[in-house]
Structure 1
């Protein structure tokens, strides 16, 4: 049985880093692993992934020792179940606004007695019955890391109740959607957004929850780490490739005496 190394790291108080992935080629997962990232977030919400392509990304991650996380498209029992059944041990659920939303997540991600996750051992999560049912059903609740997205002021305002839901492991603060909710769409560094996130970090940590967020620069990553954020999503694979390509082509065109 593969251990949930990300969960172990967070419990130990470590900070972990990883990009969102929208490319469907498992090579990008291998590259992230070789580069030293701790995890990759396979983005089914904003990416073009099917459950089949997601499963192959998961296989690539496990083969190279990097933790695969899947962000599903919505807080749906069926979508969550399908992701967990392919062997995901870290799952992110977007657009959590209320305690009822968080309760629904736990119901879908946990087996009895904590939840009502659909039971089947003829799935990759149970190594196609190589893991016996008692072990699979008995250990899954402890092994799965459940991450919820707080992406609007409704979620921020209800956070005190949300963080008290047993079975939620990480509170992920989505700065872009939050900026829209704050009336400054896209302005993730606006004080309204940053201050709301800082207050949310304090609330989550008061109840012993790990906190995550998204950032696009090493400076901002360090700032959030210093504030106490442990689970830091660093940019997106397509953006990292685009920025690298543009930087190279800009430099090449500047050297027109050599290349043009």
Structure 2
């Protein structure tokens, strides 16, 4: 599965707020996807299901970031209808293979087999159709976030079944000894090396940005999956801009 075929790049925010109205608003604004965050923030599989419904109702791609490599949580995220599962803290090729195994049914993986789920239209989809459909319709995104992953990047990039290599600049800055300094030369150098290696193998790369200028910088370097800030930060920035202008 890929939503990169018709566009040079796609952009969307991380979502932490528990109200799916924010997902609908993101769709109306023109974002391509939303990353529904189960690693940080208050949401659960149960609450995030409403966000997935809102996304699909408004034709925006729902991505669920799970908190860790956990076969059960990955399976549940896909069972409730996520188009992509995004998994943090991948450090080795074996980690990447575990994610693919958990996200795909046979013969591509060993995802827990159940068709009594939302992704199978609550059993309305014929079982002969569902499992093959699921393998084609769902995608895998993995986070490269630290020095261990950076050292193992050549082997990680060889793993089949991964749709997007996502570079986490904040965690990478910490592993480089400059926590929070996402524009530090050490961090930028590592990120660019990963982008170049991935591009040479035809792999899609993503990253996190907090400004249009940063987004354009990475797009120009070939990054196609742009995670733009976080719903709470976007809301704060908008509110602060209004307050500052009114009080000026």
Q: Shorter-chain TM-score: which interval?
A: over 0.9
* Partner in structure 2 of residue 224 of structure 1: 218
- Say which SS state the counterpart of residue 90 (structure 2) adopts: coil
Take 1:59 and 1:177, find their aligned partners in 2: how far apart are those partners? 30
What is aligned with 1:162?
156
Give distance in 1, aligned partners of 2:77 and 2:113.
13
Number of aligned residues: 248
- Alignment counterpart, residue 71 of structure 2, candidates 65, 74, 77: 77
Q: Give matches, 1:84-95, under 5 Å.
A: 84-95=78-89
Q: Which residue of 1 aligns with 2:123?
A: 129
Aligned residue for 1:95, secondary structure, equals strand
For residues 4 and 46 of structure 2, the distance between their equivalents in structure 1, rounded to whole angstroms, comes to 29
3-state SS, counterpart of residue 13 of structure 2: strand
- The corresponding residue for 1:107 is 101
**Larger radius of gyration, structure 1 or 2?**
1
Residue 181 (str. 1) matches residue 175 (str. 2): yes
Aligned twin of 2:147: 153
Counterpart check, 1:30 vs 2:27: no
1:206 and 1:91 map into 2 onto residues whose CA distance is 24
Q: SS of the counterpart of 1:195?
A: helix
2:52 to 46, 52, 58: 58
Shift in Å, 1:88 = 1.0
> Is the aligned partner of 1:42 residue 2:36?
yes
3-state SS of 2:69 partner: coil
Q: Does 1:190 align with 2:180?
A: no
Aligned counterparts of 1:132 and 1:64: Cα–Cα separation in 2 = 25
Alignment match, 2:232: 238
Q: 1:13 deviation in Å?
A: 5.4
- C-alpha distance in structure 1 between counterparts of 2:227 and 2:138, whole Å: 19
CA distance in 2 between counterparts of 1:216 and 1:242 reads 13
**SS of the counterpart of 1:45?**
coil
Distance (whole Å) between structure 1 residues aligned to residue 10 and residue 39 of structure 2: 22
Mean CA deviation greater in 180-189 or 47-56? 47-56
Distance 1:207 1:164 in 2: 8
Question: Residue deviations 1:140-181, cap 9 Å, x none?
Answer: 112111000000011111111001111111000000000000
1:139 shift after superposition: 1.6
| 2-structure distance, mates of 1:205, 1:139 | 28
1:211 matched to 2:196: no
Equivalent residue number for residue 258 of structure 1: none
CA drift of 1:12 comes to 4.1
What SS is found at the alignment partner of 1:74? coil
- TM-score, normalised by the number of residues in structure 1: 0.93
SS in 2 for 1:94: strand
CA deviation profile, 1:23-81 (whole Å, cap 9, x unmatched)? 11111001100100000000110121111111000000000011110000101001101
- Residues 228-260 of structure 1 show CA distances to partners (whole Å, capped at 9, x for unaligned) of 000000010000111111111122222xxxxxx
